[in-house]
Amino acid sequence: MSDQQYRVILAKLGLDGHDRGIKVVARILRDAGMEVIYLGLRQTTGSIIAAAEEEDADAIGLSMHNAGHLTLGPKMTASLNDARLDIPLIIGGIVPDEDIEELLESGVAAVLGPGASAEEVVSTVRDAISARDET
């Protein structure tokens, strides 16, 4: 059991029904001792922000499988900035290598692809949270 109980929001933004991956990630994080607040499908930036405030989330994970990441990723970071919420955003799913840089530049903390192992998923989330806490 980890001494620090991380609370992570997992959601899919907009019209994207591929939720197999996000369910696997939810389970990986749960089994690593984190509390996952599972929002599931068809969320909006507004509903994610509201959940992040009410749940006092330590990180937000967005699952993207519809090639919308370059539109929705920056939109989400912009919404977080507007709300003055300093919470790391991690994007997982199908993101071509050449798009990763652009996402990171827009303020996304990390990008996880289909090949990521359970350990990688957990350490990426942990690192993103501790990087934010150090600033």
Partner 1 sequence: MKSSKETIPQLFEAALSGERRSLGKLLTLVERGGETADDVAGLAHRKAGNTHVIGITGAPGSGKSTLTGRLLELFSQTGHNSAVLAVDPSSPLTGGAILGDRIRMDDLTDENSFIRSMATRGHSGGLALAVPAAIQLFDAVGYKPVIIETVGVGQVEVDVAGAADTTVVVVTPGMGDAVQANKAGLLEVADIFVVNKSDRPGANDARRDLDLMLDLGHISGLEEKTGYRPPIIMANSLEGTGSQEIIEAIENHANHLKSSGSIKVRQDQRTLMEIQNRVELLIGTTAKETLSTEFGKAMINAVLNRETSPAQAAKSIVNSLLND
Closest CA to 20 of 127, 101, 93: 93
Quote the least distance from Cβ 61 to partner 1, whole Å: 13
Quote the least distance from Cβ 19 to partner 1, whole Å: 11
**Three-state SS across 23-90?**
HHHHHHHHHCCCEEEEEEEEECHHHHHHHHHHHCCCEEEEEECCCCHHHHHHHHHHHHHHCCCCCCEE
Kindly tell me which of 2 and 97 has the beta carbon lying closer to partner 1: 2
Quote the least distance from Cβ 131 to partner 1, whole Å: 12
Kindly tell me which of 17 and 96 has the beta carbon lying closer to partner 1: 17
Kindly tell me which of 82 and 101 has the beta carbon lying closer to partner 1: 82
Kindly tell me which of 61 and 95 has the beta carbon lying closer to partner 1: 61
User: Would you tell me which residues interact with partner 1 (CB under 8 A)?
Assistant: 1-2, 4-5, 7, 26-27, 29-40, 43, 47, 50-51, 53-56, 58, 85, 133
Burial 80-91 (b: 16+ CB within 10 A, else e): beebeeebbbbb
